[in-house]
Amino acid sequence: MAKGNILIVDDNKSILSALEILLTPEFQTVTTLSDPNQIPTELRKKEYNLVILDMNFNAGINTGNEGIYWLGRIKESNPEISVVMITAYGDVELTVKALKMGATDFFLKPWDNNKLLATLKSALQLNWSKKEVSQLKEKEKGLKTEINREQKFIVGSSPKLMQMLNMVRKVAKTDANVLITGENGTGKELIAHEIHRQSERSQEVMVSVDMGAITETLFESELFGHVKGAFTDARENRPGKFEVADKGSLFLDEIGNLSFHLQAKLLAAIQNRQISRIGSNQTIPVDIRLICATNKNLESMVREGLFREDLLYRINTIQIEVPPLRDRGNDILVLTDFFLKKYSSKYNKPNLKINQQAQDKLLKYLWPGNIRELQHTVEKAVILSEGNVLKAEDFFMRPIISGRTNEAELTLEEMEKRMINLAIEKNNGNLSAAAEQLGITRQTLYNKIKKTGQ
């Protein structure tokens, strides 16, 4: 039996019965319609591979215009579907017209059963080939987006980093699901890329999804894809991240941000290893290596009823903890040098160096924002630098006031430092914009920054 769904449309019920009897043993499902006006509804209800379409539906009319009209409607809604025309009147011009409009083949009543079956199976094979090409093109679009992402590197050699990378090396060669945990800015996505790079799937793509950035309404479309017309803005078929990642790795970042009811849909896809696009009943098998990351305590969230325990077990075959930057010792200076070279080149400021006092300041700071904060700090220092040597006062870090989190306990100077830091951070290092927000001149702001040693 061929795995194909066939729709037969003919106003002659004896023809429908004869074709249904002939084709039912040969194909997966056979559906018949005597009224062509039901075609659009039927095509929305089920995904058909092949339509057998009569050319004439009203008694006494044999122009074939009705069949041509419905052929156009079918191909408009689904260009990949194979349509075989059937008529009692042989007309060469009509045949050519139908073929030009996208009909796969054409046969006359009465028919030879063996020839008809051969024609239909060829048409079915053509449908599968078109679908395969279409899926490859759709996947290619997604792949280009992933491949064009900026290449990043793991920098450092501290004992804690080496210990973690040793675990990465052991886990990468397996297909086990991995949960990467750690504070914001520690480089969890970088570790996910390293797991993929060392895995057996390294020749395929790793697809990254920020779960915190996907709205609930777009969740299924982003992860599972949709078909054309599934909703208002669905103007074309689109594969989801699961499909794009097939044979490769799927990285779900900030999975702790996923709402509870959406966790069930994700769990079903992971368990069944298959998905269905929105607007389609067809299931698509997917072969992925799952890597997740979070800065949250998922065990605590399970106890509070915010995260599904069964989902946690699914994603957490192996857990890798990424160490915070403050625990990586001299890696702080190694990373600083790495970012200094990067931004010196980007902003055309060659030969920049950092003096000893600045290095000491960087080593003493606790880096609550970890590597991401260090990267932004170095970039701001390079942008604002006026000489070839970066000094301690060229690095602006947020004040960390030990033991005093209540604003009422802060001194006026500490409050001022905090306000300045927040203004600079909010304006992405733009001192002019920060000064305007604070209601002071740029020079006054710069003097205050130098005075407080931020």
One domain, residues 170 and 307? yes
One domain, residues 261 and 384? no
One domain, residues 164 and 310? yes
Helices 431-438 and 412-426: crossing angle in degrees, nearest 10, is 130
Residue 150 lies in a domain: no
Residue 147 lies in a domain: no
Residue 31 lies in a domain: yes
Token pair 């799952």: residue: 290
What is residue 437's predicted lDDT score, i.e. its pLDDT?
82
One domain, residues 173 and 313? yes
pLDDT tens-place string over residues 382-434: 999 888 999 999 998 877 654 444 444 456 676 777 788 777 777 767 788 88
Cα distance between residue 36 and residue 244, in whole Å: 37
pLDDT tens-place string over residues 248-290: 999 999 999 999 989 999 999 999 999 999 988 889 999 999 9
| Last residue in a domain, options 356, 376, 395 | 395
| Last residue in a domain, options 322, 347, 364 | 322
Provide the number of structural domains found in the chain.
4
Cα distance between residue 201 and residue 287, in whole Å: 11
pLDDT tens-place string over residues 354-380: 999 999 999 999 999 999 999 999 999
Token pair 């084709």: residue: 23
> What is the domain-level CATH number for residue 443?
1.10.10.60
Cα distance between residue 86 and residue 106, in whole Å: 6
Residue 421 lies in a domain: yes
> What is the domain-level CATH number for residue 359?
1.10.8.60
What is residue 378's predicted lDDT score, i.e. its pLDDT?
96
Confidence of residue 328 (pLDDT cuts 50, 70, 90): very high
One domain, residues 299 and 369? no
Using the predicted structure, report yes or no on whether residue 335 has a pLDDT greater than 70.
yes
> What is the domain-level CATH number for residue 252?
3.40.50.300
Residue 42 lies in a domain: yes
Using the predicted structure, report yes or no on whether residue 151 has a pLDDT greater than 60.
no
One domain, residues 283 and 415? no
**Using an 8 Å Cβ cutoff, are 163 and 316 in contact?**
no
**Using an 8 Å Cβ cutoff, are 184 and 325 in contact?**
no
Cα distance between residue 125 and residue 127, in whole Å: 5
Using the predicted structure, report yes or no on whether residue 155 has a pLDDT greater than 80.
yes
Mean pLDDT, all residues of the chain = 85
Element (H, E) at 334: helix 331-346
One domain, residues 195 and 55? no
Cα distance between residue 5 and residue 3, in whole Å: 7
One domain, residues 243 and 98? no
One domain, residues 53 and 169? no
- Say which range, 1-15, 122-136, 219-233, 306-320, has the weakest mean pLDDT: 122-136
Residue 140 lies in a domain: no
Containing domain of residue 420, as a range? 398-454
Number of DSSP helices (H) and strands (E) in the chain, helices first = 18, 16
Using the predicted structure, report yes or no on whether residue 84 has a pLDDT greater than 50.
yes
What is residue 427's predicted lDDT score, i.e. its pLDDT?
74
Residue 144 lies in a domain: no
One domain, residues 232 and 278? yes
Using the predicted structure, report yes or no on whether residue 127 has a pLDDT greater than 60.
yes
Nearest C-alpha neighbor of 85 from the set 76, 69, 77: 69
One domain, residues 203 and 258? yes
Q: Is pLDDT larger for residue 405 or for residue 78?
A: 78
Using the predicted structure, report yes or no on whether residue 446 has a pLDDT greater than 60.
yes
| Last residue in a domain, options 86, 113, 131 | 131
Instruction: Reduce the secondary structure of 237-289 to three states and give it as a string.
Output: CEECHHHHCCCCEEEEECHHHCCHHHHHHHHHHHHHCEEECECCCCEEECCCE
pLDDT tens-place string over residues 50-69: 999 988 776 556 667 888 88
Q: For the residues 75-99, what does the mean pLDDT come to?
A: 79
Residue 138 lies in a domain: no
The long-range contacts involving 63-66, CB below 8 angstroms and separated by at least 24 positions, are 64/89, 64/91, 64/94, 64/97, 64/98, 66/36
One domain, residues 163 and 94? no
